[in-house]
Amino acid sequence: MFRKVSALSVALGVGALLLTATASAQLKVGVTVSATGPAASLGIPEKNTFDLLPKTIGGLSVTYIVLDDASDTTRAVTNAKKLISEDQVDVIIGSTTTPNSLAMIDVAADAETPMISMAASARIIAPTNPKTRWIFKTPQNDSLMADAIAVHMKANGVSSIGFIGFNDAYGEGWLQEMRTSAKTAGITIVADEKFNRTDASTTGQVLKLVAANPHAILIAGSGTPAATPHKELVARGYKGKIYQTHGVANSDFLRVMGKDANGALLPAGPMLVYEQLPDSNPIKKVAKEYITAYEAKFGPRSTFGGHAYDAVALLSRAVPEAAKSAKPGSKEFRAALRTALEGVKDVVGVHGVFTMLPGDHNGLDNRGRMMMTVKDGKWMIATK
Amino acid sequence: MDSTIAALLTQDGLTNGAIYCMIALALVLVFAVTRVIFVPQGEFVAFSALTLAAFEQNKLPGTVWLLLALGAVAALVDAGSLWREPRRLVRTWLGTSAPCVAAALLVWLVASAQLPFFVQVLTTIAAVTAMGPAVYRLAFQPIANATVLTLLIVSVAVHFVLTGLGLLFFGAEGVRTQPFTSASFTFGALNISGQSLLVYAFTAFLVIAMAAFFKFTLFGKALRATASNRTGARLVGVSPNFAGSLSVTLAAAIGAVSGLLIGPIATIYYDSGFLIGLKGFVGAIVGGLASYPIAAGGAIFVGLVESFSSFWASAYKEVIVFTLIIPVLLWRSLTTTHHEEE
């Protein structure tokens, strides 16, 4: 009896509080991006995107606290700690790269704060354990993309490939995913090579790849550095198909590649070519809205900014849900937000449609990837 | 590996080695005269490629703001220290700040008038070279008599400042410039691009020109005098400030030309300079930071090792290149007698 009464009075009290506090209640979103350092070309559009995002979600005013981690793992961890202990954020978005995001998992999970990463590797959210329960990510998993490439290769009669990837977590992750996907599709990897983001020349690696004579070559790099082996392959007169990963889907890659980019194939999120999507595709409308605003203010679109947009799209759905049971700024709210994020269904972002599950904290399906090609310096949907 | 691949790798190694060679020569030059291990040398290379790329895209190069900032700060510092002596002040301004401002104006003019490629190239060289005196004036002149370690620390600091400014003014994305010539020559299975021939030619020219400069010209002799004995040189009327400024300016000019030459071969970022500079440094160390011909040879060797290791063990390429420095240091410390620093 007493407990019922108190529960009721608490509910009334909270109700009254909500009425007075809706205007002042604040959601704090902590963001760490790699706006400087080697991953700056990915981090800058993400940072820019936060300027365009809604300042209220479900009646709560939102403060984005955006920090730069300089593409450095230690700085990313420091930023995460600072956001949690000093700013007491309700959720962390970041970081840009896989190594940084992996390093932040412990910090976020220990503080029981949900974290939405904008990095690619599936290892950030898998396998599911008490720590990764708190971690979500918006970019397509490498495995989803690797699978798209393998399927496309098989359909085009490719049975042997050469692989050249970044000498870091990105390249390594892709190599593992590609091994799995290639095996399923009956494709053999006949050569695998490494290169660094800063390499001035990749002649050695390319010669070795070409000498192995594969039907196609996959370059696993991100941004303009991935152009170095690609241009070298073209210069060496390699005749097979050249695949890239979604890490290169920006206009700077096309600028550096020039006419050598023609015919390159890659899987990417639909936002890159939203104009070419059919009107029936729900992603088209969302992507158009975001990209129009982005391009008006910051110049050509970048798919990386889209990952930041999608992270907040997830929050827009999950925060009102969580706010029903607790107030922002509390441990309970963060727990409720985690549960709400895990339960979102059919959230349309610019990279696809998200439906999260306890075992899938990415939530994208085949609608989140398309094979594209480059034709006359423009991204086109690959027809076959 | 067959002979074709070996030949291709050698060619690739020589091209990169030639670029490292120019850096190594500039490093030896600056170190000999000022005892500064000039870490920011790579930044000049990167800024030069980025400036030319901005010209090609019909954008105003960020170099303008960089030059104006350097010039303004140098002018203020000079005014602060020399305000009692107006005539000396004007003369100093003419030496450091004025070139920066003039170069900034020139860059702006060339960019807005969209003058032809050849003019853009010359302007790029002028703009990057003009940074030399200002960098020396601001960072190294006030501490010219400090220990080598202090100078190295300041040099690293200058590198970080310039990289940061590079990101601010040029952005994070990489660029590739148009090649100077699209000609290419075929020797059997080898296909040598005109651009890499230009690189070889300029490096060879530089080695000869520097030898001639130090041997035959008055300025060169003044630099050599400062390098061998600062106090002695000063006694016979060579200004150590002038010698230091001249050596950094020459280094900047060499950096500018290396940047133009490497621009069409490699994608250059605002922070590309560091790694290129570091490899040039390994070459310079082979020459004990003193001998031009050995440094040049060392740098070309670094290029070759890099090229062959990227073929055999691409994952360990950098490790192999930088591990080179250990046997070299061992060998040098065992064979040369150690001088206490004065």
More confident residue, B290 or A137: A137
Contact B175 A256 (CB under 8 A): yes
Q: Do B314 and A224 touch (CB under 8 A)?
A: no
Give yes or no for B305 touching A (CB within 8 A).
no
Check pLDDT > 50 for residue B77. Answer: yes
CB–CB contact A200 B271 (8 Å): no
Nearest-by-Cβ selection for A224 from B174, B306, B309: B174
- Please tell me the distance from the alpha carbon of residue B220 to that of residue B289, in angstroms, as a whole number: 18
Q: Between chains, do A224 and B173 touch, taking CB under 8 Å as contact? A: yes
Specify the range with the lowest mean pLDDT, choosing from A30-44, B108-122, B187-201. B187-201
Question: Are B267 and A224 a contacting pair at CB < 8 A?
Answer: yes
Domain at A142-268, CATH homologous superfamily: Response regulator (3.40.50.2300)
- Is 90 exceeded by the pLDDT of residue B239? no
Per-domain boundaries in chain A: 2-140+287-365, 142-268
| A255 interaction partners in chain B (CB closer than 8 Å) | 173
pLDDT value, residue A39: 81
- According to the model, what pLDDT value does residue A230 have? 93
Chain A and chain B share a number of CB contacts under 8 A equal to 93
Q: Does A292 touch chain B (CB under 8 A)?
A: no
Best of A207, A236, A250, A260 to disrupt the B interface (most B CBs within 10 Å) is A207
- The pLDDT value recorded for residue A333 is 93
Class of domain A2-140+287-365: alpha beta
pLDDT value at residue A322? 92
Which residues of chain A make contact with B311, given a CB cutoff of 8 A? 204-205, 207-208
- The stretch A353-365 carries a mean pLDDT of 92
Answer yes or no: is pLDDT of B27 > 90. Answer: yes
Q: How confident is the model at residue A37 (pLDDT cuts 50, 70, 90)?
A: confident
Instruction: Give mean pLDDT, residues A273-293.
Output: 92
The answer for A 218-247 residues in CB contact with B (under 8 A) is: 223-225, 227-228
> Which residues on B lie below 8 Å from A43 (Cβ)?
172
pLDDT exceeds cutoff 90 at A352: yes
Asked whether the predicted pLDDT for residue A17 surpasses 60, the reply is no
% chain A with pLDDT above 70: 93
Residues of A within 8 A of B315 (CB-CB) are: 167, 194
- For residue B252, the distance in angstroms to the closest alpha carbon of chain A comes to 20
pLDDT at residue B291, rounded to an integer: 81
Q: Are B308 and A204 inside 8 Å of each other by CB?
A: yes
Q: A246-255, A288-297, B204-213, B332-341: which has the highest mean pLDDT?
A: A288-297
**What is the predicted pLDDT for the residue at A21?**
43
Q: What number is the average pLDDT over the span B316-340?
A: 81
Q: Is B174 on the interface with A (CB under 8 A)?
A: yes
B310–A195 C-beta distance less than 8 A: yes
Q: What is the pLDDT of residue A6?
A: 54
Q: Show the 3-state SS of chain B.
A: CCHHHHHHHHHHHHHHHHHHHHHHHHHHHHHHHHCCCCCCHHHHHHHHHHHHHHHHCCCCCCHHHHHHHHHHHHHHHHHHHHCCCHHHHHHHHHHCHHHHHHHHHHHHHHHHHCCCHHHHHHHHHHHHHHHHHHHHHHHHHHHCCCCHHHHHHHHHHHHHHHHHHHHHHHCCCCECCCCCCCCEEEECCEEEEHHHHHHHHHHHHHHHHHHHHHHHCHHHHHHHHHHHCHHHHHHCCCCHHHHHHHHHHHHHHHHHHHHHHHCCCCCECCCCHHHHHHHHHHHHHHCCCCCHHHHHHHHHHHHHHHHHHHHHCHHHHHHHHHHCHHHHHHHHHHHCCCCCCC
Shortest distance between the Cα of A330 and any Cα of chain B, in A, equals: 38
A84 band by pLDDT with thresholds 50, 70 and 90: very high
> Average of pLDDT values for B160-182?
85
Asked if B267's CB is within 8 angstroms of A227's CB, the reply is: yes
Instruction: Sort out which chain A residues have CB atoms less than 8 A from B15's CB and list them.
Output: 201
Of A195, A211, A225, the CB nearest to B5: A211
Q: What are B100-111's pLDDT values in tens digits?
A: 999 999 999 998
Task: Report the chain A residue with the minimal C-alpha distance to residue B266.
Answer: A200
Query: What pLDDT, in 10s, does the model give residues B87-100?
Result: 888 888 888 888 89
DSSP codes, A275-323: GGS-TT-HHHHHHHHHHHHHHHHHSS-BHHHHHHHHHHHHHHHHHHHHH
Contact B197, B190 (CB under 8 A): no
Does A200 contact B19 at a Cβ distance shorter than 8 Å? yes
Average pLDDT on B32-56 reads: 92
- Which tens digits make up the pLDDT trace of A199-215? 888 888 998 898 889 99
- Looking at per-residue pLDDT, the higher value among A120 and B24 belongs to B24
Q: Are the beta carbons of B174 and A225 separated by less than 8 Å?
A: yes
pLDDT band at residue A1 using 50, 70 and 90 as cut-offs: very low
Averaged pLDDT for residues B7-31: 90
Chain B CA closest to residue A198: B272
pLDDT of res. B231:
85
Contact check, Cβ <8 Å, B311/A204: yes
CB contact under 8 A, A167 and B314: yes
Highest mean pLDDT among A11-15, A68-72, B3-7 belongs to A68-72
pLDDT band at A165 (very low <50, low <70, confident <90, very high): very high
Residue B309 with chain A: CB contacts under 8 Å: 204
Q: Does the distance separating the beta carbons of A193 and B307 come in below 8 Å? A: no
The verdict on A342 touching B (C-beta cutoff 8 Å) is: no
Q: How far is A70 from chain B (nearest CA, A)?
A: 11
Residues of B whose CB is below 8 A from A228: 266-267
What's the pLDDT score for residue A20? 43
- The predicted pLDDT at position A276 comes to 92
Q: How high is the ipTM of this complex?
A: 0.71
Determine the average pLDDT of the residues in B194-206: 87
Structure tokens at A98: 């896989």
The chain A residue lying nearest B173, using CA atoms, is A41
Determine contact: A204 vs chain B, CB below 8 A.
yes
Q: What is the pLDDT at residue A153?
A: 93
**pLDDT score of A203:** 87
Ramachandran area for residue A348 (φ above 0: left; ψ -120 to 50: alpha; else beta): beta
Whether pLDDT at B235 is above 60: yes
pLDDT per position as a tens digit, A166-197: 988 788 889 998 999 999 999 999 999 999 88
Amino acid at the residue A29: V
Which chain A residues in 35-74 lie under 8 Å from chain B, judged by CB atoms? 36-38, 40-41, 43-44
User: Is a pLDDT exceeding 60 seen at residue B237?
Assistant: yes
pLDDT at B269 over 80: yes
pLDDT at B342: 45
Residue A4, pLDDT above cutoff 60: no
What is the average pLDDT across A380-384?
82
Q: Which pLDDT score is estimated for A253?
A: 87
Confidence grade of residue A143 (pLDDT, cut at 50, 70, 90): confident
Which of B10, B161, B314 should one mutate to test binding to chain A, selecting the residue with the greatest count of A CBs within 10 A?
Answer: B314
pLDDT level of residue B338 (50, 70, 90 thresholds): low
Average pLDDT over residues A272-293: 92
**A252, closest residue in chain B (CA to CA):** B173
| Percent of chain B whose pLDDT exceeds 70 | 97
**A252 touching chain B per CB within 8 A:** yes
pLDDT classification of A19: cutoffs 50, 70, 90:
very low
Distance between CA atoms of residues B204 and B300, nearest Å: 12
Mean pLDDT, chain B, rounded, equals 87
The reported pLDDT for the residue numbered A151 is 92
- Smallest Cβ distance to B16: which of A36, A200, A223? A200
* Stretch (H or E) spanning A354: strand A353-354
pLDDT above 50: residue A23: no
Q: Which residue of B has its CA nearest to A165?
A: B315
pLDDT > 90? residue B145: no
Query: B169 touching A, CB under 8 A?
Result: no
Q: Report, as an integer, the average pLDDT of B322-332.
A: 86
Which contiguous run of DSSP H or E holds residue A99? helix A98-110
CB contact under 8 A, B172 and A201: no
Query: Residue B210 above 50 pLDDT?
Result: yes
